Chain A
Amino acid sequence: MAEEIIKYDMPRRGFPLQQEIFGLLTVAVVGAIGYFAFPDDLAFLTRLISITLLVLSLDLVTGYCGVATLGQAALFGVSAYAVGNACIAGITNPLILLAIGAFTGSIMGLISGALITRFQGLPQLVLSIAIGQLVSSLANKLSSLTGGSDGLSGITPAPIFGVFTFDMYSRTSYVFSLATLAVVMVLLLRFVRSPFGLLCRGIKDDSLRALMIGASAYPRLVVMYGVSGIVAGLGGALMAINTGVVGLDSVSFERSAEVLVMLVLGGAGNLWGALAGAVIFQIFEHIVSAANPFHWMTLVGLLLILIVIFAPRGLGHSIASLWSSFSQRRPGS
């Protein structure tokens, strides 16, 4: 483990901001390929980006801090509802709406983080589920704010900078979401290598030892939860702005479980893994569930079982280690 932290995460010498620029370019290039190769599926790709932000936020708490949570959708959904209500109330500038989403997400993150990270193991898991379910039944009950099971509709944001209107082909939405994702990715790549991010990894690996060097776990985990709330909140805001509707599914338990699967598929504790897992899973889902939603469930289940048995640290890690063993063997043979 220690070796890996040095290998992947320590700021290396070389030109500054290397990883950040690489991240920005990768997201931009892949995004551009998506834009030009699948012009008819931009609505789906836009939705994919908002869920991807939720997976990234889950990676911050689960992958980097080791908090097992099945309630992450609460952060996402509450922000989406807040943005929807703000938009209906007359605040239609998309950038301000994004900020509202991030702010609501951070508040939700701090509150749920303060509750969840008090404990470890089973109580932690159950608290996270209970908070998610509490939010979900409140969303069902407070139908004047959330539209209940009909969903909150009628969200029509103004053009970005007063110029770019949200068109029905989702072109503007897609570029807007992609830009948000790129900015978030760059900031997070920086954030997880910051002293604070490294300390969180230390707490995950050995919280007692972290305490011994003077780093108490609880306040840091709560702050990390706040950051993860910002990312999830941006995802929720994008969902509300782009689709114009917020449904009960955005706070559901199923959503929380699904993003955990995406994270584990790509490999927790690595932002690129989270990104890849989210993209692969959703494209796969898009294709298979179009055929038959129940076969989709069986397939996800099988996939999970296979991952746990054959690639317990995510596909990204397995491919990386296969690659390294392959390239090590080559010169000898």
Chain B
Amino acid sequence: MLTALSILLDAISYGMVLFTISIGLSIMMGLMRVVNLAHGAFAMIGGYLASYALKTLGVSYPIAIIMAVVGTIIISIPFEVLLYRRIYRHSDALTQLLLTIGITFVIIGLANFTLGPTSKPIPLPAALSGPFDLGFRMIATHRLLVIACGLVTALALWLLIDKTEFGVRMRAAVDNGDMAESLGIRTQWIYSATFALAVGLAAFGGVLGAEMLPIEPFYALRYMVTFLVVVSVGGAGSILGALSASLFLGLADTTGKYLAPEFGEFFFYLAVILTVFLFPRGLLGRAH
């Protein structure tokens, strides 16, 4: 019983990390129909920036997160203008796949060249690094923060996409770009803003999750598949779907690693194959 509860807690915090990083990808894939394999690379850039801000500039943890998110968005602007604009509409999956894998390789190569192959620590403030007594078990305070951030992100995004003017315009631009344009919506601007949102979320998740997914040059490639799988299992574009998929896959992975560690990722991908087979559109995906 206690083991089950421990697994559950770890699964939830791991799942929330997956969620905060993957939800940006889910928005890009569900709303903009872009298979962005470079998403993890932007999460990695966020992690590097936070590490730099904390260790070299010595700012506080919340400021470092903000700097990482804003900095990653600024870094991503040239990519958006020069490359992503070509693949927003009217391009097939293979083209998007190749272009974004290419971007990932370039970022990995440059990160390795300029920053070295070692992993970069993101030191936690004293308030977050200690344990927290839940009564039956101690849990790292940082994990509680991760869970809270995941929930807040989900709620905020739901409000943004379903309830605001921006969300309405965004969905219109995606569903029928030409029609939206003739109604006076500046679709290019909407697309760019959505891209910035997705990249910002990636950076946010990358910094928050650095305890569980350490920041190193191969981060982008190592977890690229994981993020893609979360989106596909949850159904692209669905916030609730991404949340449930993250928790489900977090559970499958954590349980597998607790009970049969030598099998590695086997149970994770078994769960993926079963889910994709039963729900080809994802757990809560909408039909397109």
State the A residues within 8 Å of B (CB).
62, 68, 70, 115, 118-119, 121-123, 125-127, 129-131, 133-134, 137-138, 140-141, 253-254, 257, 260-261, 264, 268, 294-305, 307-309, 312
Contact = CB atoms under 8 A, between A and B. Distances in A.
B276 A127 contact: yes
Contacts of A134: 266, 269-270, 273
Contacts of A305: 83, 99, 102-103, 106
Given A129-B225, A295-B113, 18 more contacts: A68-B93, A115-B277, A118-B280, A122-B93, A125-B97, A125-B228, A130-B273, A264-B98, A268-B94, A294-B113, A296-B109, A297-B108, A298-B106, A298-B110, A301-B102, A301-B106, A309-B86, A309-B99
Contact of B276 (A126, A138, A304, A307): A126
Contacts of A294: 108-109, 112-113
Nearest to B217: A294
Interface stretch (B135-143, B194-202, B257-265): B257-265
Contacts of B112: 294, 297
Contacts of B94: 62, 68, 264, 268
The 9 A-B pairs with the shortest beta carbon distances in the complex, nearest first, are: A301-B105, A298-B109, A304-B102, A301-B106, A297-B109, A126-B232, A305-B102, A137-B264, A137-B266
18 contacts: A122-B35, A122-B236, A123-B280, A123-B281, A126-B229, A129-B225, A129-B229, A130-B276, A133-B265, A134-B273, A137-B264, A253-B225, A260-B98, A268-B94, A295-B113, A297-B109, A301-B103, A301-B107
Given A294-B112, A301-B106, A301-B109, A125 B93 contact: yes
Interface of B: 29, 35, 83, 86, 93-95, 97-99, 101-110, 112-113, 221, 225, 228-229, 231-233, 236, 262-266, 269-270, 272-273, 276-277, 280-281
A127 B280 CA distance: 10
B110 A257 contact: no
Contacts of B276: 119, 123, 126-127, 130
Contacts of A115: 273, 277
B260 to A, nearest CB: 9
B266 A141 contact: yes
Contacts of B270: 134
B231 to A, nearest CB: 8
Contacts of A253: 225
Contacts of B99: 304-305, 308-309
B273 A127 contact: yes
A141 B257 CA distance: 13
Given A130-B272, A295-B109, A123 B232 contact: yes
A68 B102 contact: no
Contacts of A295: 109, 113
Contacts of A296: 109
A76 to B, nearest CB: 18
A307 B101 CA distance: 12
A104 B238 CA distance: 40
Contact of B29 (A62, A119, A122): A122
A312 B99 CA distance: 10
Contact of B264 (A118, A121, A140, A268): A140
Nearest to B35: A122
Contact of A304 (B29, B98, B110, B266): B98
A298 B232 contact: no
B262 A126 contact: no
